[in-house]
C-alpha cells in the first residue's frame, strides 16, 4: 500500500500518448465507400441486364441484391459524413451513432429487398416462364463474383483498420452477395440440366440470405443504440488490479461502438492517501485500460476509500 502511494507521488504517469481516441477515420472510410458504391453499381447493372435478357429470376434477384449493396454504401457514406462532425456542447460525446443509425437503415433495406424477391419469385411461379441460359450468363456471374469477393475482403479489412462500423457491415452485405451469386450459378447449371424450377427456389434462397444478413446488422445496431456492454468487465478488472495502489476494482461498465468504446469503473485506494496521489493512480488506471483495449476512447475512473465497513457504490 505504501509502495503504491510512493510510486504515485514520485513517478506520475504521462497520459499525453493515451488520450488520443482510437475513433473512426471517417474521411478514409468515406473514400472507400465511394469506390465501393461505383463498383456495386457496375455489378448490379451487369446482373440485371443479363438476367432480364436470359429471363433468369435468380440473376435478376442477385442484381437487386447488388443494387442494394450500392444503396447501402450510399447510406453509409451519408452516415459517416454526419458522424464526422466535431464535438460541441450539444453533442459532448460526438455524433458517432449516426454511423450506427446508417447501419440500421441498411438492415431495413435488406429486409425490403428480400420481400421484393419473394414477391417476384411467386409471380414467376405463376407465369411459368423459363430462363434462357447462354455462355454470357456464366461469364457475367463469374466476373461479378470475383469483383464482389475483392470488394468484400477489402471493405472488412479497411473497416477494421479505420474502426468503421459501416464499412464492416457493408462488407458483410457484399459477402452475402457473393454467396447469393454462387447460388445463381447453381440455378443456371440446374436449368441447363432441365430443372428450371430450381431457378425459382434459388431466388427464395437469396431472399433468405438477405434476411439473415439484415437481421445480424439490425441486432448489432440495436446493441450500440441501447448501450449494450462492449467489453467483458472480467477482462478489464485484472488490468486495473495490476496497478500499484489499486486495492479493488468494481462496477465496470462499457458502451459505444467500434473504435469509440467508453468505460466507467470504480477503484479503491488507501483511505490515508492524499487526493493528489489517488488522482495519479486513477490516471494510471485510465492509461492501462486504453493501452490494453485499442477500441477504448475514454475511461472515467471513480475513486473510493478502501474501508471494509463503508458501503461503496
pLDDT at 189: 76
**Structural domain range at position 125:** 26-225
In a domain, 310, yes or no: no
Q: Do 233 and 270 lie in a common domain?
A: yes
User: What is the Cα Rg of the chain in Å?
Assistant: 26
Q: Which of 171-180, 219-228, 288-297 has the lowest mean pLDDT?
A: 171-180
Q: Is 143 in the same domain as 158? A: yes
**pLDDT for res 110:** 79
Q: Based on the domain organization, do 214 and 234 belong to the same domain?
A: no
Report which of residues 204 and 298 the model is more confident about.
298
- List, for residues 21-46, the tens digit of each pLDDT value: 445 577 788 888 888 888 888 888 88
Q: For all residues of the chain together, what is the average pLDDT? A: 79
For residue 303, what pLDDT band results from cuts at 50, 70 and 90?
Answer: very high
Q: Are residues 279 and 141 in the same domain?
A: no
Judge whether 117 lies within some domain: yes
Q: Tell me the average pLDDT across 238-255.
A: 94
Structural domains counted in the chain: 2
| Confidence check: pLDDT of 191 > 60 | yes
Residue 159 has pLDDT above 50, yes or no: yes
pLDDT in tens, 266-291: 999 999 999 999 999 999 999 999 99
Using pLDDT thresholds of 50, 70 and 90, give the confidence band for residue 199.
low
Q: Which of 180, 210, 225 is the last residue of a domain?
A: 225
Task: Look at residue 11 and tell me if it is in a domain.
Answer: no
If asked whether residues 211 and 68 sit together in one domain, one would say: yes
Same domain assignment for residues 185 and 295:
no
Q: Are residues 126 and 190 in the same domain?
A: yes
Give the model's confidence band at 147: pLDDT under 50 very low, under 70 low, under 90 confident, else very high: confident
Query: What pLDDT does residue 10 have?
Result: 45
- Mean pLDDT in residue range 213-232: 89
Dihedral (CA of 56, 58, 60, 62) sign: negative
The answer to whether the CB of 262 falls within 8 A of the CB of 93 is yes
CATH of residue 252: 3.30.70.1350
Mean pLDDT within 82-86: 81
**Distance in angstroms (rounded) separating the CA atoms of residues 175 and 192:** 26
Please give the DSSP secondary-structure letter assigned to residue 308. Answer: T
- Average pLDDT, stretch 110-132? 69
* Nearest residue to 65 via CA among 216, 143, 180, 150: 180
Confidence of residue 131 (pLDDT cuts 50, 70, 90): low
208 in the same domain as 94: yes
What's the whole-model pTM score?
0.70
Q: Rounded mean pLDDT of 107-131?
A: 72
| Residue 72's CATH number | 1.20.1510.10
237 and 286 both lie in a single domain: yes
Last residue of a domain, one of 225, 248, 283: 225
Are both 277 and 205 inside the same structural domain? no
Decide if pLDDT at 7 tops 60. no
Q: In the predicted model, is pLDDT for residue 177 greater than 50?
A: yes
Does residue 285 share a domain with residue 268? yes
Please tell me the distance from the alpha carbon of residue 107 to that of residue 119, in angstroms, as a whole number: 19
Does residue 17 have a pLDDT over 70?
no
Q: Is the pLDDT of residue 5 over 50?
A: no
The reported pLDDT for the residue numbered 58 is 64
Is the pLDDT reported for residue 179 higher than 80? Answer: no
Same domain, 62 and 185: yes
Last residue of a domain, one of 158, 191, 225: 225
Please, which pLDDT band fits residue 238 given cuts at 50, 70 and 90? very high
- State how far the Cα of 155 lies from the Cα of 80, in Å rounded to an integer: 15
β-pairing, 260-269 vs 296-305, is parallel
Amino acid at each position: 500500500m505504501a509502495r503504491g502511494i510512493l510510486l504515485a507521488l514520485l513517478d506520475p504517469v504521462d497520459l499525453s500518448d493515451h488520450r488520443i481516441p482510437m475513433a473512426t477515420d471517417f474521411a478514409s472510410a468515406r473514400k472507400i465507400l465511394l469506390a465501393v458504391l461505383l463498383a456495386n453499381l457496375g455489378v448490379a447493372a451487369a446482373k440485371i441486364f443479363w438476367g432480364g435478357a436470359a429471363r433468369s429470376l435468380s440473376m435478376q434477384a442477385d442484381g437487386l441484391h447488388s443494387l442494394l449493396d450500392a444503396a447501402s454504401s450510399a447510406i453509409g457514406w451519408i452516415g459517416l459524413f454526419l458522424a464526422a462532425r466535431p464535438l460541441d456542447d450539444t453533442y459532448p460525446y460526438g455524433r458517432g451513432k449516426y454511423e450506427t443509425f446508417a447501419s440500421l437503415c441498411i438492415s431495413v433495406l435488406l429486409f425490403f429487398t428480400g420481400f421484393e424477391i419473394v414477391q417476384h419469385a411467386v409471380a414467376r411461379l405463376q407465369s411459368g416462364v423459363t430462363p434462357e441460359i447462354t455462355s454470357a450468363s456464366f461469364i457475367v456471374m463469374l466476373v461479378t463474383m470475383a469483383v464482389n469477393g475483392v470488394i468484400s475482403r477489402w471493405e472488412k479489412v479497411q473497416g477494421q483498420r479505420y474502426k468503421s462500423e459501416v464499412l464492416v457491415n457493408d462488407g458483410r452485405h457484399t459477402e452475402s452477395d457473393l454467396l447469393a451469386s454462387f447460388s445463381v450459378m447453381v440455378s443456371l447449371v440446374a436449368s441447363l440440366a432441365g430443372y428450371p424450377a430450381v431457378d425459382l427456389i434459388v431466388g427464395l434462397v437469396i431472399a433468405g440470405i438477405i434476411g439473415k444478413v439484415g437481421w445480424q446488422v439490425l441486432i448489432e445496431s440495436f446493441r450500440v443504440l441501447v448501450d449494450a456492454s462492449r467489453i467483458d468487465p472480467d477482462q478489464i478488472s485484472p488490468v486495473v488490479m495490476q496497478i500499484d495502489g489499486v486495492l479493488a476494482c468494481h462496477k465496470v461498465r462499457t458502451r459505444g461502438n467500434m473504435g469509440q468504446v467508453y468505460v466507467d469503473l470504480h477503484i479503491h485506494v488507501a483511505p490515508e492517501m492524499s487526493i493528489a496521489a489517488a488522482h495519479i493512480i486513477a490516471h494510471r488506471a485510465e492509461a492501462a485500460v486504453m493501452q490494453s483495449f485499442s477500441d477504448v476512447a475514454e475511461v472515467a475512473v471513480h475513486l473510493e476509500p478502501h474501508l471494509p465497513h463503508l458501503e461503496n457504490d
